[in-house]
Amino acid sequence: MSPKSPGYRPILLLLLACASATPVGVGAAEWPDGRKIAVTLTFDLDADTLWWDDPDSMQGNPSSLSQGRYGPTVAVPKILALLERHGIRATFFVPSWVAGQYPETLRAIASAGHEIGAHGVKHVAPVTLSAAAEQAEFAESVRVLEAITGKRPRGYRAPSWALSDITLELAVDAGFTYSSNLMDSDVPYVHDSPPGLVELPVSWILDDAPYFWFDEASWDKKIHSAAEVRAIWQEEFVAAYESGGYFDLTMHPQIIGRPARVRMLDELVDWMSDFDGVWFATCAEVANHVRSIEAR
C-alpha cells in the first residue's frame, strides 16, 4: 500500500465493484487452540519508490528520496528489534526493486524468521498496467525475492492496493496463495474467484499512512500524534477481540519507524499481549489456517 496514488478513490470504487468473492468468515472458536483473535503486523517496505517523480527514470528530489531510504536503513532495524523483544514474526511486503537495492535489509528480515511477500517491482499500481506487464511484474518480483531470501513469496499485496480486474487471477497463476488487498470483510475468507485464494482483509483505519503521511502536496493535512493513533488502534482491537475477529495492521517502515511512533507500536504490542488468546502470526500462517478450515 502507499498513500501516494493519484485517483485512489475511483480505483477503490472500481476495486469493490470488481471483487468477485463471497466472504466466508472464521469465528473466534476457529482460531488455532481456541485463541480469540489473530493479529498480523504487516510492513510495506516501499522505501524510495514512493518518492520517484517518474518510476521509469527513477528520478526524484534527494530530500524526498531520503524519506524513503530511512525505511530500510534506519526504521527496519528498530522494527526488527521490537519484534524480537516480543517474540513476534511479522510480514514484510517488498517491491522487488527495493529488495535488489537493499539486499542486506531483506536478508536481515528473512533470517529473523519474518515472512516476505510481494509488492510489485517499482511500486506501480497494477490497475495502470497491461495484462502482459502485470504478468512480467509477477515473474520479476518472484524471481528477485526468491533469489535474495531463498524463499518463494506466497503472499501478495498490490502497490497502493490498486488491483486491476485480473490481478488476483494472475497472482494465482504466479503461485500466490493469499492476497491482502480488499476491504469487504472483517475477517479472512477464501475467494470464489479465483477459487482457493485466501483474502486477508485490510482497512484504512488500521493503516499508519492516513494518520502520519505528509508531503508537499498535503500541507494542510494534520499529522496525528502517536497517542491519538494508539487510541484509535486500541479501540479497533477491543472491538475485533470481542467479535472474535482479525486485526491486520498495515504499516510502512518509513512512517511508523520514527521514534515516537515505533515506541507507540512497542507499547501497543505490549498492551495487546495482555489479552487472553491473542494469536500473533504471519500472514502466511493465518492464510494457511483459513485454507485448512475451508478444506474441512
Q: Three-state SS for 121? A: coil
Q: 249 and 91 in contact (C-beta within 8 Å)?
A: no
2 counts as binding Zn ion under rule CB under 5 A: yes
Nearest to 214 by CA among 50, 44, 11: 50
Q: Which of residues 174-193 bind Zn ion (CB under 5 A)?
A: none
CB of 239: closest distance to Zn ion in angstroms? 26
Answer yes or no whether residue 99 interacts with Zn ion by CB under 5 A: no
Instruction: Quote the DSSP letter at residue 6.
Output: T
**Shortest Cβ distance from residue 197 to Zn ion (Å)?**
20
- 158 vs 166: CA distance, rounded Å: 12
Q: Which of residues 36 and 119 has its CB atom nearest to Zn ion in the complex? A: 119
C-alpha cell at 234: 486500541
Residue 162 in the binding site for Zn ion (CB under 5 A): no
Asked if 118 is part of the footprint of Zn ion (rule: CB under 5 A), the reply reads no
**Using an 8 Å Cβ cutoff, are 130 and 150 in contact?**
no
- In the bound state, the residue with its beta carbon closest to Zn ion is 2
Nearest to 121 by CA among 144, 102, 105, 103: 144
Size of the site for Zn ion (CB under 5 A): 4
Q: Which positions from 17 through 56 interact with Zn ion, judged by CB under 5 A? A: 44, 46
Q: Say if CB 214 and CB 267 are below 8 A apart.
A: no
d(CA 183, CA 186): 8
Task: Please tell me whether residue 164 binds Zn ion under the rule CB under 5 A.
Answer: no
CB of 161 to Zn ion, least distance (A): 8
Range in contact with Zn ion (rule: CB under 5 A) among 2-10, 11-19, 186-194, 261-269:
2-10
In angstroms and rounded to an integer, the radius of gyration of the C-alpha atoms of the chain is 18
Least distance from Zn ion to the Cβ atom of residue 168, Å: 17
Answer yes or no whether residue 1 interacts with Zn ion by CB under 5 A.
yes
Q: Which residues bind Zn ion (CB under 5 A)?
A: 1-2, 44, 46
